[in-house]
Amino acid sequence: MNLVKLSCLALAVATASSQLAVAGQADAKGFVEDSELSLLNRNYYFQRDFKNNPGGQNYREEWAHGVMAEFASGFTQGTVGFGADAYGYMGIKLDSGRGRTGTGLLPISDEGRAQDEYGEAGGAAKLRISETVLKYGEMRTEAPVFATAHSRLLPETATGFHVSSGEIDGLALEAGHFTAYNNRNSTNSDEELYLNYGSGEIGQTIDFAGGWYNVSDDLALGLYASRFEDTWNQYYGNLNYTLSISEGQSLNFDLNLYRTSDTGDALQGDISNTTYSLAATYALGSHSILLAYQRVNGDTPFDYVGGDSIFLSNSMQYSDFNAPNEKSWRIGYGYDWSGLGVPGLTTKVTYVKGSDIDGTDADVNGGYVGYYGEDGKHSETDIDIKYVVQEGPAKDLSVRLRQAFHYANGDQGEGDLHEFRVIVDYPLSIL
């Protein structure tokens, strides 16, 4: 996950509670009057070149276009307001081929070919009392212990209950109970919950609760707890602080901590894992410099349910740097080209190096045995260039180029590869 997203998320989500307090059920205008309809066109090219994969697939390359319509109704008036959310997603193959599939952009048939097109639709019913909203159905989630992803063509969704509350100014609370998943290249909304690294049988439900508290304009705190049925209990904490040094100059600190331990039938085996990351970002005008350290303490990797449930500093374009006992350092530089008269253009370069990986003590009956050796090492360099059109008919259209270079020894488990992505997004607000 991108660190800029993480650094801002605690502040943004915590601030949302104060916005809810202003626009609660007392201000409801009606189901139609407060409704919103948005449309996102996404054009996605994905190429992954494996450099040392003898006997396996060496190359993946696909190009696809996605159309995503999302509707959010307002709430009916009264003490209890009722509403509904709905979505319709469609993906179209532009280029693929047998032997080049597996990018995650398109579903793959039993014959090993990418489908020409695919689509899905779903939604959720919702009700609101005061500043508290309860939803049931298919939806996207953003909790650090259960977050669906939008890293490929179409978004992931999950099915279950979700409640969010902004009754207290500066405090945003949420809880959820989810039982099914819709993966990024699937049209089935009743799939198993998505586990990223484990293997074998997995839990059928996940429950979580937590929230964000905006202590001040500069300090935000986050705390969550979750239970993945018969697999683990997982806890998350965050501290995000920004020190304003002078006009246009600041220093941001972002601390993330996860604690995971097995529970119930321990379907993934014995787990006792503490993983944390600490990042510092110095911003001066259009420049930003980032330094981060990440550590995994445990004989299993830091694993998570949901495609984007990893709020750690060194989760990169390809690797999460989350292997057993891994230590990793990150350095990055970003520049906002508006400082040179090109508003909307941003560039970032990041390098991460991980070492001391040792997965040889993982539970032999668990889901992580045999994947990591005793002296794993790897590195990744990411280059990110993005331009957002600032005005005119194509306003808000963005073009993003992402290049990753990953190199590893045999004990790390992921191998050497080069990965290139081109993502063009064009969002439209219809209502």
pLDDT tens track for 284-313: 999 999 999 999 999 999 999 999 999 999
Range 136-141 contact pairs with CB under 8 angstroms and sequence separation of 24 or more = 136/160, 136/161, 136/162, 137/85, 138/87, 138/182, 138/189, 139/85, 141/176, 141/178, 141/306
Q: For the chain, first and last CA: distance in Å?
A: 30
Residue type at position 43: N
Residue 375 has pLDDT above 60, yes or no: yes
Residues 85-91 have a mean pLDDT of: 97
Q: Return the pLDDT at 54.
A: 65
pLDDT band at residue 27 using 50, 70 and 90 as cut-offs: confident
Of 29, 100, 117, nearest in space to 66 by CA: 117
Q: How confident is the model at residue 21 (pLDDT cuts 50, 70, 90)?
A: very low
Give mean pLDDT, residues 224-242.
98
The CATH code of the domain that includes 327 is 2.40.160.10
Tell me, what's the pLDDT at 55? 67
Please compute the mean of the pLDDT values over residues 140-151 and round it to a whole number.
97
Is the pLDDT confidence value at 217 over 90?
yes
Residues 6+ apart with CB under 8 A from 55: none
Residue with tokens 């993946």: 60
DSSP assignment of 85-99 equals EEEEEEEEEEE--TT
- pLDDT, mean of residues 167-184: 96
Which member of 309, 313, 315, 328 is catalytic?
Answer: 309
Local confidence band at 413 (pLDDT 50, 70, 90 cut-offs): confident
**Coil, strand, or helix at residue 397?**
coil
Q: Which tokens is 64 given?
A: 């696809």
pLDDT the model gives residue 28? 85
177 is catalytic: yes
Asked if the model's pLDDT at residue 3 lies above 90, the reply is: no
pLDDT in tens, 265-287: 999 999 999 999 999 999 999 99
Whether the pLDDT of residue 22 is over 50: the answer is no
Minimal CA–CA distance to 252: which of 309, 349, 332? 332
Q: Is the pTM of this model over 0.85?
A: yes
The reply to whether 355 belongs to the active site is no
Q: pLDDT confidence of 34, banded at 50, 70, 90?
A: very high
Which is the catalytic residue, given 177, 286, 287, 375?
A: 177
How far, CA to CA in Å, does 429 sit from each of 35, 36, 344, 395? 11, 8, 20, 11
User: What number is the average pLDDT over the span 147-158?
Assistant: 97
pLDDT at 26 over 90: no
Q: Report yes or no: 276 and 313 within 8 Å, Cβ to Cβ.
A: no
Out of 207, 230, 336, 416, the active site residue is: 230
At 24, the pLDDT band (50, 70, 90 cuts) reads confident
Question: Does the pLDDT of residue 2 top 90, yes or no?
Answer: no
Contacts of 288 (CB under 8 A, 6+ apart): 281, 282, 332, 333, 334, 335
pLDDT above 80 for 17: no
pLDDT of residue 431: 84
> Considering Cα of 149, then 321, then 311, then 349, what sign does the dihedral take?
negative
Question: Mean pLDDT across the stretch 370-398?
Answer: 96
Domain count for the chain: 1
Residue 112 has what pLDDT? 85
Give the percent of the chain with pLDDT over 70.
Answer: 94
Whether 418 is catalytic is no
pLDDT at 6: 45
What does pLDDT average to over the chain? Answer: 93
Domain that holds residue 70: 3-429
